[in-house]
């Protein structure tokens, strides 16, 4: 860490900082300028919390040199993590981007099957659908819960699609884990640390969505919680953050997060343009942009009758729109794939 002392800091105050660090095995380099003293300290920050140095008298600022996430970091693992779900569904690295598609909520078996068959025919490999729904209002549709999971399992059997579905609570985790091929942690729960630790006890892949107001560092630290608890199979999902203008979009899709995460982490990144924009007409351009930015896959909401959807109809593509979009995405995915593997 780098410690910048106040301009009026006394020698005694500087010594106190240096001694605290030295006592804990830190290597110290002091740079005494005309106005400021800057201390460079290298050591194990678990032994001296940066906050405890920041609160000492005479300290102006403490800056960290290394990223606080370790297991999720590119430094700890140079190669990309690839989540192998089946012979032909692999997320991450140079693999062809994987598309997850389906309704926001699982509503009924017949409709789910119809959507699943359509998205599969268009090239999706994974069916999405929420059985436990995080809704802003308690008066809105809350999901079919276990019945919804059963429909997902039945449709998986019939279509061969894999299933990603959200868990909202540690209590429901054993049940959701039994049905899901990928356990989704929703944006609102990105910092539900008990839930992160609980999914960390399993080996099943976890798709962690970025919190609506989370920084990239907080996002990666949330992934770190899952990995530290024992589950290395984490997929990150950028789904937009609260922006300054919700007139035209529901959230602000942060596509720069994709190459940033690839630079600092080895974990795969999926982009969700549906929640990221909230508007149907923005799904295709944002999906294309996400792929160009290096996304390892997409999560798209698709409904057979979006006007009648129980949730998120305005951001859901019709099955026909999805099929049309996939045709143009396929071209980008093929090019990306060739470029990467060239
Ligand atoms: C979802 O994908 O169903 C969902 C609720 O998304 P988010 O957690 O990103 O809002
Ligand atoms: Mn939704």
Contact 301, 102 (CB under 8 A): yes
What pTM did the predictor assign? 0.92
134 lines ligand 1 (CB under 6 A): yes
The H or E element that residue 13 is part of is helix 11-23
What is the distance between the alpha carbons of residues 53 and 36, in angstroms, rounded to a whole number?
A: 17
Which protein residue's CA is at the shortest distance from atom 6 of ligand 1?
186
CB-ligand 1 contact for 103 (6 Å cutoff): no
Tokens of 169: 């609570």
- 125 within ligand 1 shell (Cβ under 6 A): no
What token pair was written down for 334? Answer: 């093929």
Mutational pocket test of ligand 1: of 127, 239, 273, the residue with most ligand atoms within 8 Å of the beta carbon:
239
Q: Pairing mode, if any, of strands 182-185 and 162-166?
A: parallel
pLDDT of residue 341: 47
Distance 169 CA to ligand 1 centre (A): 14
Structure tokens at 180: 């899901």
Tokens matching residue 39: 């201390």
CA-to-CA distance for 233 and 211, rounded, in angstroms? 19
Q: What are 64's two structure tokens?
A: 């960290």
Ligand 1, pocket-test mutation among 275, 276, 316, most atoms within 8 A of CB: 275
Long-range contacts of 229-232 (CB under 8 A, 24+ apart): 229/196, 229/197, 229/198, 229/199, 229/200, 229/201, 230/200, 230/201, 231/199, 231/200, 231/201, 231/202, 231/203, 231/204, 231/206, 232/71, 232/81
Q: Does the beta carbon of 209 sit less than 6 angstroms from any atom of ligand 1? A: yes
Per-residue pLDDT of the chain (342 residues; tens, 9 = 90+): 999 999 999 999 999 999 999 999 999 999 999 899 999 999 988 889 899 999 999 999 999 888 889 999 999 999 999 999 999 999 999 999 999 999 999 999 999 999 999 999 999 999 999 999 999 999 999 999 999 999 999 999 999 999 999 999 999 999 999 999 999 999 999 999 999 999 999 999 999 999 999 999 999 999 999 999 999 999 999 999 999 988 999 999 999 999 999 999 999 999 999 999 999 999 999 999 999 999 999 999 999 999 999 999 999 999 999 999 999 999 899 887 656 544
130 lines ligand 1 (CB under 6 A): yes
Q: How many CB atoms lie within 10 A of CB 154?
A: 14
Q: Does 278 sit in the ligand 1 pocket, CB within 6 Å?
A: no
Query: Are 234 and 72 spatial neighbours (Cβ–Cβ below 8 Å)?
Result: yes
Distance 188 CA to ligand 1 centre (A): 8
β-sheet bridge partners, residue 208: 185, 236
- Alpha-carbon distance of 284 to 326, in angstroms, equals 9
Residue corresponding to tokens 């190459």: 259
The predicted pLDDT at position 342 comes to 47
Of 319, 285, 316, 337, give the one whose Cα is nearest residue 121.
319
Residue minimizing CA distance to atom 4 of ligand 1: 186
End-to-end C-alpha distance for the chain, whole angstroms: 40
Closest ligand, as measured to the CA of 306: 2
């Amino acid at each position: 860490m780098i410690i910048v002392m106040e301009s009026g800091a006394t020698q005694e105050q500087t010594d106190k900082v240096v001694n605290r660090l030295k006592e804990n095995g830190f290597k110290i380099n002091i740079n005494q300028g005309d106005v400021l003293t800057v201390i460079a300290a290298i050591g194990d920050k678990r032994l001296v919390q940066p906050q405890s140095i920041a609160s000492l008298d005479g300290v102006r600022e403490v800056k960290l040199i290394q990223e606080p996430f370790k297991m999720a970091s590119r430094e700890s693992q140079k190669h990309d993590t690839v989540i192998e779900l089946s012979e032909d569904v692999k997320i991450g690295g140079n693999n062809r981007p994987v598309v997850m598609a389906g309704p926001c909520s699982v509503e009924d078996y017949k409709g789910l099957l119809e959507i699943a068959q359509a998205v599969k025919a268009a090239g999706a490999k994974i069916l999405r659908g929420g059985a436990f729904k995080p809704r802003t209002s308690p008066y809105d549709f809350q999901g079919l819960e276990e019945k919804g999971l059963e429909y997902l399992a039945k449709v998986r059997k019939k279509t061969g699609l894999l299933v990603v579905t959200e868990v909202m609570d540690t209590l429901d985790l054993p049940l959701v884990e039994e049905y899901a091929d990928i356990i989704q942690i929703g944006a609102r729960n990105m910092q539900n640390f008990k839930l992160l630790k609980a999914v960390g006890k399993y080996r099943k892949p976890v798709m962690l969505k970025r919190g609506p107001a989370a920084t990239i560092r907080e996002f990666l630290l949330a992934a770190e919680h899952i990995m530290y608890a024992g589950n290395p199979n984490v997929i990150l999902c950028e789904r937009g953050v609260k922006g300054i203008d919700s007139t035209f979009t529901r959230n602000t899709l942060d596509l720069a997060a994709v190459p940033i995460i690839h630079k600092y982490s080895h974990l795969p990144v999926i982009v969700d343009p549906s929640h990221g924009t909230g508007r149907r007409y923005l799904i295709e351009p944002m999906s294309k942009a996400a792929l160009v930015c290096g996304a390892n896959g997409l999560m798209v909401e698709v409904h057979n009758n979006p006007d009648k959807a129980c949730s998120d109809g305005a951001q859901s593509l019709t099955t026909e729109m999805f099929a049309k979009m996939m045709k143009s995405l396929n071209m980008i995915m093929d090019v990306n794939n060739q470029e990467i593997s060239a």
